[in-house]
Structure 1
Amino acid sequence: MLVGNKCDLESMRAVSVEEGKALSETQGLFFMETSALDSTNVKTAFEMVIRDIYTNISRKQLNLDTYKTQLSSNNRVNLVKDENKGSNQVFGLSCCSSS
């Protein structure tokens, strides 16, 4: 899956929809544009990824044992809410602002 983000910022577009679709076709991927600001296709994108993972595991096309070493605790990101900052703040920037 190839996902173009920030589709709500049309005036700042760097890649056209046609370019995204063309690249996804050459790579054999599904193409979708999303926007976290207005929730365009965000839920759908996650649902598609989860559905594909489930389908591949149930068809035994994806073996979880293959990835166990890659999923060691050294390669994980620990997400912890900092009570001193707003929930949408990361590195001092708002997740949904244009600044």
Structure 2
Amino acid sequence: MSYAYLFKYIIIGDTGVGKSCLLLQFTDKRFTPIHDLTIGVEFGARIVTVEDKQLKLQIWDTAGQESFRSITRSYYRGAAGALLVYDITRKETFEHLGSWLEDAKQHSNSNMTIILVGNKADLEHRREVPKEQGEAFAKEHGLLFLETSAKINTNVEEAFLTTAATIYEKVKAGSLDLNTEQHGVKIGGENAAVFLQDDVAQESRSSCC
């Protein structure tokens, strides 16, 4: 299917917060309760519609373990959007957000759109991070914010689409240079599929393991 633009996404956050489950729910509409830890990076893609425009989201799901942080950092480059994910039932994953955000700002372009995602909202009875705390962190750092549940598919679509809509507004405003891959946006067309294959091959070679 043809599309107007391709947006590159990255999903970041501590291990076990549900990054891979969010990607799987968004791309395949399914949930796997037992998921192997991501080694290096995983990849998914889906075409969505924003303001009658077909947009292809190219999504890189990164490993949360400290041992893979150097690999993860290489994927910030050329990303238009990022999902910064924590687990509402594990306070330590929220406390680590500052470190992830610092990494993101250091290794990405300044125009990257970041949405803070509090995942596992279906586990309200085990909540350790109040929603208001997530909202306050997002407001303080200029991030979008949503709570989601990959398990019961709550706000998963919205997290990706809200980010896409914000990036598209930047495209329309001319604040992203589409002549360079630095901002993670490519114009669609007959050569877009070739560019995508080249990207996947190149990034796969660099991801090890």
Question: Which band: TM-score by shorter chain?
Answer: 0.5 to 0.7
Alignment CA distance shift 1:76-1:5 (3 Å) = farther
Alignment CA distance shift 1:55-1:68 (3 Å) = closer
Specify which structure has the bigger relative contact order, considering alpha-carbon pairs within 8 angstroms and separated by 6 or more residues.
2
Q: Which residue of 1 aligns with 2:203?
A: 75
Q: Which residue of 2 aligns with 1:35?
A: 149
Give the superposition deviation at 1:14.
3.1
TM-score by length of 1: 0.63
Larger Rg: 1
Q: Which runs of 5+ in 2 are unaligned?
A: 1-114, 185-195
Does 1:10 find its partner at 2:124? yes
Alignment CA distance shift 1:76-1:21 (3 Å) = farther
**What is the CA RMSD across the aligned residues, in angstroms?**
2.6
Distance of 2:154 and 2:165 partners within structure 1:
19
Aligned length: 76
Distance of 1:36 and 1:53 partners within structure 2:
23
Q: Which has the higher strand share?
A: 2
Paired-residue identity, %: 39
Q: How does 1:86-97 map to 2 (within 5 A)?
A: none
Amino acid across the alignment from 1:62: L
3-state SS in 2 of match to 1:37:
coil
Q: Residue by residue, what CA displacement relative to the aligned partner does 1:21-69 show, whole Å, maximum 9, x if unpaired? A: 1101111122210111111111111111111111111211122414279
